[in-house]
Structure formats: structure tokens, C-alpha cells
Structure 1
Amino acid sequence: MKNAIAIGTLSACLALPVGAQAQEYTLRIQSLFAEASLPGQNLLQFYDDIEVMSGGRIKVEPFFSSAVVKSPETFDAVINGILDGDTTQPSYQVGKDTAFQFVGDPMGGYDTPWQMYAWLYEAGGLEMARELYAEYGMFLVGWWVHGPESLSSSKPLASVEDLKGWKFRSPPGMETDIFANLGASPVVMDFTEIFTAMESGVIDGADASNLSVNKSLGIYDVVDHATYPGFHSMPADHFAMRLEQWESFPDDIKRIIEVAWEKLSFRDSLSGEVAIAMTANELREAGKTLHAWSLEDRKAFREGAVKAWDTYADSDRAKAIVASQKDFMTQIGLIGDGQ
């Protein structure tokens, strides 16, 4: 019996890469999401996956709801060694390079998460994005796309014409230019102020998040209209790590993390799609009106968005990423004659 145990232990050790037997990694990873949220639960599954697949060599110390530093500060906290992983928004880093906007949310560009993943994995996007991250000592493991967001409004938003004069909450940055060019009146305010501003009539509507999140915020307790399916914004959050640390991992650890992240991202998009569709059905049953824009209106919005891209992309790397996405969108018929 003792010989059998000894042989089994030896076999397990020999199955590991040379030099990896005693090496363990504890990763401190911060997310902006709450642990109980759907993305939070999906992250916990990812952490469990990499621990199990690595035979316990990878362990994660998770921090939810931006418990260590504010969400926009997570990236720099990883660079400085305070944290080991960042699962927040690339567009928080546009002050470093506007290219991060087009890695984080090429607004108005894509209809589905799968089109965004296709640019990343099939059209050279991942390589371009990793070069951008490397400039700041970071490594981009990958994206996760939670689904298209919806505009919420106290009045109908059935077409691009309905944007004219529409006063709504907007996050700062490129979005304000896109909507202002289409006749809307964006008002930049914090996410936490949305409900009160809509309830008091200070604004007519808001760009907050997808239907499910909007419903959880109570937005549809005060307004009756929303765009669905969403089209104007579909943020991709990232998983980024310090480049020096990533390069210190043996190849099997790198592969485990990358493969598990692809599983997490695709499953998160799938579960998000289901949740959004179920919410849409609930809202219809509650008497709310969901406005599906025509192909012509979506084309008009996308054309306006792409024009804003060209103005906003003010660095060589941003211009290259925009050119790559426009070329890919043309190939799959989202812009150009194929629309």
C-alpha cells in the first residue's frame, strides 16, 4: 500500500512541468461588480476553474465592489503591485490613450457581443490591444461583454428622430459628442444620481446599463420606455494583469488562465443575454414599451458614431485600432454597402 501511494505521488509530481511542483500563486483581483450580481457569480466560477485546473497552484483573493481602490484606479493599483488583476473597464484609462475607448466600448459599432469577440479573436484585435496594454506594463488576458445597453426614457424613443431635444444622463467622453451630433442634450452626471434625476424630471431619460440592471435600479418604476435590443453601447470589461507577473508564469499556468477566461467571458455573455431577454418580457407584461429601431435608424446612428470615432481617436494607436474595427465591420456588413 505504501509503495502504491509513493508511486502515485511521484506520478503526480512528474505530470507537472519541471520547476512548477512547488510554485503557487495567490492573485488579488478586484472587480467593480458586487459578489451577488450575475457577473460576480460568474467571476467566482472562473476563480474556482483556475484553482481546480491548476491543481491548487493558483488561488484567488477576490475583491468585489471595488473594495480596495475606486474602480478607475484599479488599473494603476495593478501596475503598482497593490493588486494582481483588474476586471474593470478599459475606457477608464482614456486619459492615458484614447485607444482604450475603442478597446472598452466602440460605441454604436456592434450589435452583439459575438461580433465584438470576433474582432478580438478573429481579426487581430487581441494582438493590437495587447500591444497597447504592454506600453503601460500590463497584459490583457481578454474581454467579457455583458450585453448591449438600453436607453431608458419618459417619452418614446422609436427612431433617431426622437433623439432631437432628448435630455438624458450620459457618462462623460465620446458618447456626449455622438448624441449631441444627433440632436440630443446629454447631461453628464454620476451613475448614482440617475434615479433621483429621472424621478424629479430633471432629465427625460438615461444611459445607465442593460435592461436587467436598469430594472434593478428601479428606473422602470418612473419611466415607461426603453430601446431594445440595445445598439448604442456595449462595454467590454477586461481582465488585465501586470505584464512582469504574467511573463513569470509557466506556460501551463498562462494557458489555464486564458482558456478559463474565454469560458468565463462567453458564459457571462450567454447568461447576460438570457437575463436581458427575460427582463424584456417582464417589462412588456408590465405595460412598458420597448422600441426596436429599424435598420435605417441603426445605420444613421452607427454613421454618426463612426464619425465621432474619427474625431476622438487622437493617437496613432487609437487610429490604428479604429481603422482595424472599421475594416472588420465593413467585412461583416455592419458599415458600407453591406448594411
Structure 2
Amino acid sequence: MKNLLTTAAAVAIAASAASAQDVTLRIQTHYATEHPTGQMLAKFIDDVQVMSDGGIAIEMFYSSSVVATTETFDAAINGILDCDATGGAYQTGKNPAFQFVGDIMGGYETPWQQYSWLYFGGGYDAAQELYNANNMQLIGWSIYGQESLSSSKPIAGFEDVKGWKFRSPPGMETEIFQELGASPIVMDFTEIFTALETGIIDGADASGLANNVGLGLYDIVKHATYPGFHSMPSDHLACNKDVWDGLTDQQRRIIDTAWQKLAFQIALANEKLNAEAAAKLVAEGVTLYDWSPEDRATFRKAAQTAWADWGTRSPEAAALLASHKEYMTQLGLIE
């Protein structure tokens, strides 16, 4: 009898395992394998595979090796990929509302405030409507923290940005800095180094302080803002909704849990890396500027003017902006 029960249990386990079919998810990221976030993504892959006992495999395409970074979202929609691990800010041409899930600009001060909007401030449901309308499912964010501006001349406050020529990503940021009197120049990330060397630009909005060190920016320029205040982009994991819905509850829970671990560790790791980079740069003669509360307020005021304009560009943008403003008011960030 004991052997019969053991055999029956084994058959039941095998049948259960067979019902949860093994899957392979094809995901593209814009990060390189050697980038700190690329290294963390490798840990995410390992977590998913171990927790699923090998039932979920992930084929990660680094450095946007399948399609251009801006095309990753559409590649997932169209089945070329299964998931997109870049960021919503790349999709503002599809719907301006993606600005408010990609980079709120001058809004939250810490990754933890921004995460709390997503998970506890109504953000997840508000953002999900936007993603689902494109047959995509937002799984979660990863936020590495505030970005730092790098400059060949002092950048101690908003007075210093008047006439300041700098590399800017496209979108809302250019409008905010133009409002403050700067001269943003939209150029590809790969062109920053040469443009600084040749004096085409005075500075750049590239990434966080530690990442900027890795790029070699402070071999050329000797001024930077730190801690940052102007931009805190959120990378996302978003999957084709049909693919996501085709996973089992267990598989979805594993991916969600592994991503949340990745997201929070990215924020923690970058806080440490940025602090180490700041100490190293000061010792090497780079001047770091922590903008005053008054100058930060001036920037946030200019940002809110841009928010209001972007909020008129689509119903989805208006809804997301309203959600952010309600939560920022609760946090005391805006009145």
C-alpha cells in the first residue's frame, strides 16, 4: 500500500509539473553585460531560474542587440521579443503619457518615494491602463536614483544654467531647461564624450554620478551636481500581455518577486556607488554642487509648468499626472 501511495504521489507531482510548461522569455535591455545594471540583470535571471526550478528560462539580449532601444517596446508588442527591459520614457512618441512613467522630472526626491507611488500610491493601476492599451503588461520598475549634471564650468545653481549648452535627452527635459534659460542640445548618448572634448557642449545630462565616472566624463570636465535633483528615470520590465497572461500564476509571481528584488537592490547599490564616486571625485579635484532648497524649488516650479503642458497631450497623460500630483501633495513635495 505504501509503495502504491508513493507511486501515486509521484505521478501527481509529475502531472503538476507537466501542466506548468517550461517557458523561455526573450528580453532586451539597453544595458551592457559589464554595466552595473547589466550585472544585476544577470542575478535577476538566475533568481528566476532557481525559483522556478528551471521552469522559466530567460534569454537576455544586452546592449539593444536585436533592435534599437527605442524599438524594444514595439518588438515586444509584435512578438519579436517577449519583454522590454528599457524604460517608458523611450515611448513618448507613442503616447506622451509615457513621460510620467519614464521620468517625471523634478518630482520625487528619492527612489523610495517614486517606488511608493507605484506600489502604494495608486500608480500601478494608473500605469497599467496605459500599458494594457498597447497590449503590454507593466511588471515593475527599477530606479537607480537621481542623475547628476556634468559640466566644464561651475553649475552651482539655476543662474549658472543660463546660456549653458548641454546634452539633453529628448522630451520634457529640454522644455524645462529652456524655461530656465539653458541651451539644451538633443544628441545620442554615444556622442557625449566627443562633444565635450571638442567644446560643442559645456556639459551633459548622462546618468548618475557613478555611471558618469565609468563613462570617463570627469576626465574631461571637473564640475557636477550631486546629489542630483532634476531627473530620476525609471527603467521598466514590460511584457507582451498575451505572453504574460499565458504564464501560470506561479510563474508570474516568481518573475514579479525577482524583479522587485532587482529593483530595490539597484537603488541600494547605486546609493553606495554614488557616495564612493563622490568621495573619489572630490579627492581628484572635481567640484560637486548640491543645489540650495531655493534653487531646487525654482527648478520644480519650471518642471510643473512642463508637467501641465504634457498633461494636456493625451487623456492618459492627464490621468497619470493627476495621480502623481495627488501623491506628491500627500508627501509634501508640492502644494
**Structure 2 counterpart of 1:229:** 227
Q: 1:15 to 1:53 in 2, by over 3 A?
A: farther
Q: Which residue of 1 aligns with 2:329?
A: 330
Change beyond 3 A, Cα 1:6–1:315: farther
| 1:132 equivalent in alignment to 2:138 | no
| Partner residue in 1 for 2:264 | 266
Q: Distance in 1 between matches of 2:132 and 2:154?
A: 45
Rounded to whole Å, the distance in 2 between the matches of 1:78 and 1:5 is 48
Report the secondary structure of 1:106's partner residue: coil
Match of 1:278 in 2: 276
Distance 1:8 1:75 in 2: 48
Q: Is the 8 A contact 1:20 1:250 kept in 2?
A: no
Q: What's the counterpart of residue 314 of structure 2?
A: 315
Residues in 1 aligned to 2:18 and 2:26: alpha-carbon distance in whole angstroms: 20
Question: Number of paired residues?
Answer: 334
Change (3 A) 1:63 1:299: same
Task: Write the deviation string for residues 107-130 of structure 1: whole angstroms up to 9, x where unpaired.
Answer: 111111111101100101011111
> Structure 2 length as normaliser, TM-score?
0.95
1:283 partner letter: L
Which residue in 2 is equivalent to 1:36?
34
Give the unaligned 5+ runs of structure 2.
Answer: none
Distance 1:172 1:85 in 2: 24
Determine if the alignment matches structure 1 residue 293 to structure 2 residue 295.
no
Deviations 1:63-98 (A, max 9, x none): 111111111111111111111111002111111111
Question: 2: distance between equivalents of 1:238 and 1:288?
Answer: 32
* Distance in 2, Cα, partners of 1:20 & 1:154: 61
1:251 matched residue in structure 2: 249
Match of 1:24 in 2: 22
Mapped to 2, the partners of 1:272 and 1:55 lie a distance apart of: 30
Q: Does residue 58 of the first structure (1) align with residue 56 of the second (2)?
A: yes
Number of the residue aligned with 1:118:
116
The one-letter code of the counterpart of 1:131 is E
Check the 8 A contact 2:25/2:82 in 1, yes or no. Answer: yes
Deviation at 1:7, TM superposition (A): 7.3
Relative distance call for 1:13 and 1:258 in structure 2 (3 A) is farther
**Contact kept? 1:154, 1:224, Cα under 8 Å:** yes
Please give the alpha-carbon distance, in whole angstroms, between the structure 1 residues aligned to 2:76 and 2:215.
Answer: 30
Please name the residue that 1:192 is paired with: 190
1:324 aligned partner, one-letter code: S
Q: How far apart are 1:299 and its partner, in Å?
A: 1.1
CA shift for structure 1 position 165 = 1.4
Conserved 8 A contact 2:244-2:252: yes
Q: Is the 8 A contact 2:76 2:83 kept in 1?
A: yes
| Number of the residue aligned with 2:180 | 182
Q: TM-score, normalised by structure 1?
A: 0.94
Secondary structure class of the residue paired with 1:226? strand
Is the 1:13–1:21 Cα contact (8 Å) retained in structure 2? no
SS at match of 1:28: strand
Give the C-alpha shift of residue 187 in structure 1. 1.2
Partner of 1:143: 141
1:177-228 per-residue CA deviation (whole Å, 9 max, x = no partner) reads 1000011111111111111111122211111111112112211111110000
Superposition RMSD on alpha carbons, in Å?
A: 2.0
Deviations 1:36-74 (A, max 9, x none): 111111111111111111111101111111111111111
Q: How does 1:200-215 map to 2 (within 5 A)?
A: 200-215=198-213
Shift of 1:11: 4.9
1:278 alignment partner, SS class: helix
